[in-house]
Amino acid sequence: MDNRTIIEQGKAILGIEFGSTRIKAVVIDDKGNTLASGGHGWENRLDNGIWTYTLDDIWSGLRACYADMLKDVREKYDITVTSFASIGFSAMMHGYLAFDKRGELLVPFRTWRNTITEQAADELTRAFDYNIPQRWSISHLYQAILNGEEHVADIDFFTTLAGYVHWKLTGCKVLGVGDASGMFPIDIATGDYDAKMTEKFDEMIASKGYPWKLKDIRPKVLSAGEAAGTLTEEGARLIDESGALKAGIALCPPEGDAGTGMVATNSVSKRTGNISAGTSIFAMVVLEKELSKVYPQIDLVTTPDGALVGMVHCNNCTSEINAWVNMFKEFCELMGQKPDMNELFTKLYSVAMDGDPDCGGLISYNYVSGEPVTGFDKGAPLFVRKADDKFTLANAMRMHLYSAFAALKIGLDILFKEEHVEVDEMLGHGGYFKTEKVGQSFAAAAIHAPVSVMETAGEGGAWGAALLAAYMSGRNEGQSLGDYLSNVIFAGNKGSRLMPAKEDIEGFETFMEKYRKGLTIEKAAVEVL
């Protein structure tokens, strides 16, 4: 069946993801091939000290994104879209959307970006003996309780962005387990919210006399492959203003962007993981067992099918590299040249391969903003060297690429060196890996494990959401999600795999020794500047 017929007969699958700056839609066939796509840019706003998106932002953005996808379909196939085999939604994880019994939003959407829940996160972490980051939904709820906010007594339901969109489209108050794991800790044995921690939370707030229990106001947890409701008539109109889209389409459980990132890189099975490296950087490793203790540097979430994942998230990655490349661009222009930015990035990344394995003694800190993994609330980009260090272009660029990975390595070293977590392979995606072999080689050296980059890694979370919808609508003889991805979607696509070089491993470790000692220099820079 050709692509046009697949879409026309409603056999295609739609995935839509609400990212922090862009809403993207992807239409695929049952083998994961992209047939059409669309997008819409949006930005969060600072409203009375809260980073938020309005409900109108959400729905007008969704309609604009869907309309852009329809435009792509018309231009490619000259047909009208009326149905899909299934649909999947995903969005930024965490945050806080609270509603009353009438379904009215009680306070503006508080996104993951807000750092206003420090007291709540600290108290919950101690009470649960489990790391509860500030951005988690339960931190936002508990902080609202600590603040004495009046709306808390009126809560009938609270959820994430993906959970909210799914609810309004289907009437189902559900959430994929991966997204749910960013609301509240998950018991891996049951695949549901941790019962003892739930009971503990209710005990902590019992004196407040609220008319609800925690279990009554949060979404039901579903695993990948489970049915999660169907599109209602009202829901269809919320997506497609033209009225062409029909109701009755099956939706898969709504997921978070971490889960769709794992799906899009085929890293949902145990002993696999992925590294997303762009403006910020994070890594997720699917664990074989629980960690021995609580680490503030490591979040525990799950894959979309409920396997435990250790996640290290760092605020800074390529922004400082971009600043240096722009300075070189200015130099080129000063010399009367008009550089192509892609070529400039490629050449400067590539020259790093000629640098000394330890960067010639040079060190830098790419802290454009604070870096919680290393204990910094604020940052100051810093480049330090001794007079006799080897100050060359190759070493300087290698240093910046090492620095972009260094804070993440500190978190991952806890997993690999202290908890003895083993990985067979890590999948890299994002701008850091764009220049062939460069970022990939340094990442492999940092984690002492092979790193692969797939051609499909650039497809993104909307593609991952579509794959989850495809998995639900055609379970392929009961295969696990990991087997389904490997056997159906990624069959024959192994990507480019690089083993770490011994001299690069040794060089990176030498760099990290100076980096860790030099954190006192960064602290002084932050205090003085």
DSSP-derived secondary structure for 457-484: GGG-HHHHHHHHHHHHH--TTT--HHHH
CA distance 137 to 117: 10
Cβ 398 vs Cβ 356: under 8 Å? yes
1-92+160-167+226-265+459-496 and 94-159+184-217 have identical folds: yes
Per-residue pLDDT of the chain (529 residues; tens, 9 = 90+): 899 999 999 999 999 999 988 999 999 999 999 999 999 999 999 999 999 999 999 999 999 999 999 999 999 999 999 999 999 999 999 999 999 999 999 999 999 888 899 999 999 999 999 999 999 999 999 999 999 999 999 999 999 999 999 999 999 999 999 999 999 999 999 999 999 999 999 999 999 999 999 999 999 999 999 999 999 999 999 999 999 999 999 999 999 999 998 999 899 999 999 998 888 898 999 999 999 999 999 999 999 999 999 999 998 999 999 999 999 999 999 999 999 999 999 999 999 999 999 999 999 999 998 898 999 888 999 999 999 999 999 999 999 999 999 999 999 999 999 999 999 889 998 889 989 999 999 999 999 999 998 876 556 889 999 999 999 987 566 899 999 999 999 887 767 899 999 999 999 999 999 999 999 999 999 999 9
Per-residue pLDDT of 318-375, as tens digits, reads 999 999 999 999 999 999 999 999 999 999 999 999 999 999 999 999 999 889 899 9
pTM confidence score = 0.88
Between 319-334 and 393-413, two packed helices, what is the crossing angle to 10 degrees? 170
Question: 176 phi and psi, to 5 degrees?
Answer: -65, 150
> What's the confidence (pLDDT) of residue 458?
58
Cβ 428 vs Cβ 439: under 8 Å? yes
CA distance 352 to 350: 5
| Domain residue ranges in the chain | 1-92+160-167+226-265+459-496, 94-159+184-217, 319-406+502-528
* Intra-chain end-to-end CA distance of the chain, in Å: 63
Cα dihedral across residues 515, 379, 147, 160: positive or negative:
negative
CATH topology of domain 94-159+184-217: Nucleotidyltransferase; domain 5 (3.30.420)
Cα dihedral across residues 337, 339, 345, 350: positive or negative:
negative
For residue 483, give every residue at least 6 positions away whose Cβ sits within 8 Å of its Cβ, in sequence order, or none.
Answer: none
For residue 66, give every residue at least 6 positions away whose Cβ sits within 8 Å of its Cβ, in sequence order, or none.
Answer: 16, 25, 38, 239, 240
Angle at 175 between CA 174 and CA 180, to 5 degrees: 135
**Residue 212 is which amino acid?**
W
Pairing of strands 192-193, 186-187: antiparallel
Instruction: Provide, for the chain, the percentages of residues in helix, strand and coil under a 3-state DSSP scheme, each rounded to the nearest 5.
Output: 45, 20, 40
CA distance 526 to 529: 5
* CATH number given to 1-92+160-167+226-265+459-496: 3.30.420.40
Cβ 121 vs Cβ 134: under 8 Å? yes
Question: 59 phi and psi, to 5 degrees?
Answer: -80, -40
> What's the confidence (pLDDT) of residue 457?
58
